[in-house]
């Protein structure tokens, strides 16, 4: 039996409780163990990233309009309006037509999220999409390294030496946005789980 995440854990990591937390909690506890995200160390990394991406568990939709993603071939945004239609959603802010399509394929309904992008704002799919992303990039492997370990990651043609939290942050965000926050929330999450054991 893995760790059971509680409302106290989420509100301690985020700094306060939010209306989204009860729904997210239900699905975190149901889905994360299915993806072998079940130890304090794995949850500390996973929830720290989710906290930053969802603005402290306050939103499951990116605040920006998504217009900046218009025409982004790397996201599969090939049709007019794709940037706005497939802006960031879920606790890891899944972004872009290609990623929405991939999630539909994983669910066995190819166009599910293409036709209904707002499904990713429902707690179940918000958590599930993050678990899929995490597992698809083998981020438990990085999460289970010691904080002092150095991991190699190719980024913009260079091989970088990164700590596990940096490696996971770049894997989720695609860059360094919010890196200081991500590190701080990871340390906070570790502290929260250490105190609750």
* Strand 151-155 relative to strand 158-162, pairing: antiparallel
Q: Tell me the pTM.
A: 0.95
Query: Which helix or strand (DSSP H or E) is residue 185 part of?
Result: helix 179-196
Q: What is the per-residue pLDDT across 57-103, written as a single tens digit (0 to 9) for each?
A: 999 999 999 999 999 999 999 999 999 999 999 999 999 999 999 99
Q: Assign residue 66 a region (left: φ > 0; alpha: ψ between -120 and 50; beta: otherwise).
A: left
Q: How confident is the model at residue 1 (pLDDT cuts 50, 70, 90)?
A: low
Phi, psi of 163 (to 5 degrees): -75, 165
Q: Are 139 and 45 contacting, i.e. CB atoms less than 8 angstroms apart?
A: yes
Distance between CA atoms of residues 82 and 97, nearest Å: 7
Q: What per-residue confidence (pLDDT) applies to 26? A: 97
Backbone φ, ψ for residue 66 (5° rounding): 95, -5
DSSP designation for 162: E
pLDDT of res. 197: 61
pLDDT tens-digit map of 3-49? 999 999 999 999 999 999 999 999 999 999 999 999 999 999 999 99
Report angle CA 97, 100, 30 to the nearest 5 degrees.
Answer: 165
Bridge partners of 158? 155
pLDDT in tens, 124-175: 999 999 999 999 999 999 999 999 999 999 999 999 999 999 999 999 998 9
Let me know: does 189 contact 48? Beta carbons within 8 Å.
Answer: yes
Q: Could you give the CA distance from residue 101 to residue 89 in angstroms, rounded to a whole number? A: 13
């Amino acid at each position: 039996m893995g760790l059971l995440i509680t409302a106290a854990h989420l509100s301690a990591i985020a700094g306060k409780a939010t209306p989204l937390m009860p729904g997210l909690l239900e699905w975190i506890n149901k889905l994360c163990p299915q993806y072998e995200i079940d130890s304090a160390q794995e949850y500390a990394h996973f929830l720290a990233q989710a906290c930053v991406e969802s603005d402290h568990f306050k939103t499951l939709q990116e605040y920006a309009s998504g217009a900046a993603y218009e025409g982004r071939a790397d996201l599969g945004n090939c049709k007019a309006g794709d940037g706005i239609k497939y802006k960031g959603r879920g606790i890891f802010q899944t972004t872009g037509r290609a990623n929405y399509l991939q999630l539909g394929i994983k669910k066995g309904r190819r166009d599910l999220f293409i036709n209904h992008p707002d499904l990713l704002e429902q707690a179940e799919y918000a958590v599930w999409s993050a678990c899929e992303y995490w597992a698809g990039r083998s981020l438990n492997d990085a999460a289970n390294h010691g904080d002092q370990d150095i991991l190699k990651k190719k980024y913009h043609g260079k091989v970088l030496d990164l700590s596990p939290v940096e490696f996971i942050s770049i894997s989720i965000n695609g860059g360094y946005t919010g890196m200081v926050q991500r590190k701080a929330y990871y340390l906070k999450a570790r502290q929260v789980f250490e105190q609750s054991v």
